[in-house]
């Protein structure tokens, strides 16, 4: 009976060891999955901010390169285009390039539509000014038109317009009536 107790004791110790090793491996995998950033994520705060200023050019979304997130389908998360743009931003941030130089490189590669906020110069200034100026001009125009209508409106008398005396005389002569009403 003692031998049986010793063999059961060895088996239970082996099970505990396997269980502990399994828990250690599982905790290591979970730690890496939860704490490490994905390979497509921006590595620095400056990189994230630059990624928010650049539009993902995949054609399937209108999100920024940092916020690109396609749900459903065969994958979920940023598309390959956004991942490539984020990697290029990270590379340029690592080389310590200026923000303007990085954005200009994206404009040269993808065109001015890559910028989420167009620069306020040239024709693009209309995009900034028009939403404020056009409604104000419309309000002023309506006010002027209504004011003119109100000033032009005159009340007509109940008797009607004045009839010249020669027309009254002619009408009396033709009707043969000689009284005045």
> Is residue 161 very low, low, confident or very high in pLDDT (cuts 50, 70, 90)?
confident
Q: What's the CA gap between 166 and 43, in Å, rounded?
A: 99
Structure tokens at 142: 């309506």
What's the pLDDT at 39? 42
Segment among 19-28, 45-54, 86-95, 127-136 with least mean pLDDT: 19-28
What's the pLDDT at 1? 47
Q: Which residue has the higher pLDDT, 139 or 64?
A: 139
pLDDT in tens, 45-86: 888 888 889 988 887 787 888 888 776 555 667 788 888 888
The predicted model scores a pTM of 0.49
- Greatest mean pLDDT among 77-86, 103-112, 123-132, 167-176 lies in 103-112
> Is pLDDT of 172 > 60?
yes
First vs last Cα of the chain: how many Å apart? 144
Instruction: Say whether 36 sits in a helix, a strand or coil.
Output: coil
User: What is the average pLDDT score of the chain?
Assistant: 79
> Is pLDDT of 10 > 90?
no
Structure tokens at 13: 């110790």
Segment among 31-45, 49-63, 164-178 with least mean pLDDT: 31-45
Closest C-alpha to 115, from 42, 56, 44: 56
> Is pLDDT of 36 > 80?
no
Bridge partners (DSSP) listed for residue 55: 64
> Is pLDDT of 44 > 90?
no
- 125 Cβ contact list (under 8 Å, min separation 6): none
Closest C-alpha to 75, from 47, 40, 50: 40
Give percent of the chain above pLDDT 70.
78
Q: What's the CA gap between 62 and 115, in Å, rounded?
A: 11
């Amino acid at each position: 009976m003692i031998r049986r107790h010793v063999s059961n004791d060895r088996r239970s110790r082996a099970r505990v060891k396997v269980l502990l090793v399994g828990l250690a491996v599982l905790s290591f995998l979970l730690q890496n999955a939860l704490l490490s950033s994905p390979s497509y994520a921006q590595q620095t705060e400056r990189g994230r901010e630059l990624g928010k200023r650049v539009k993902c050019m995949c054609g399937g979304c209108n999100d920024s390169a940092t916020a690109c997130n396609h749900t459903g389908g065969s994958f979920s998360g940023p598309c390959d285009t956004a991942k490539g743009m984020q990697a290029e931003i990270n590379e340029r941030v690592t080389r310590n390039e200026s923000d303007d130089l990085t954005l200009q490189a994206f404009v040269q590669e993808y065109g001015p539509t890559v910028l989420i906020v167009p620069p306020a110069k040239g024709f693009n200034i209309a995009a900034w000014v028009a939403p404020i100026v056009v409604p104000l001009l419309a309000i002023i125009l309506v006010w002027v038109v209504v004011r003119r209508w109100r000033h032009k409106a005159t009340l007509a008398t109940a008797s009607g317009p004045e009839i010249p005396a020669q027309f009254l005389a002619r009408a009396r002569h033709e009707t043969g009536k000689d009284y005045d009403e």
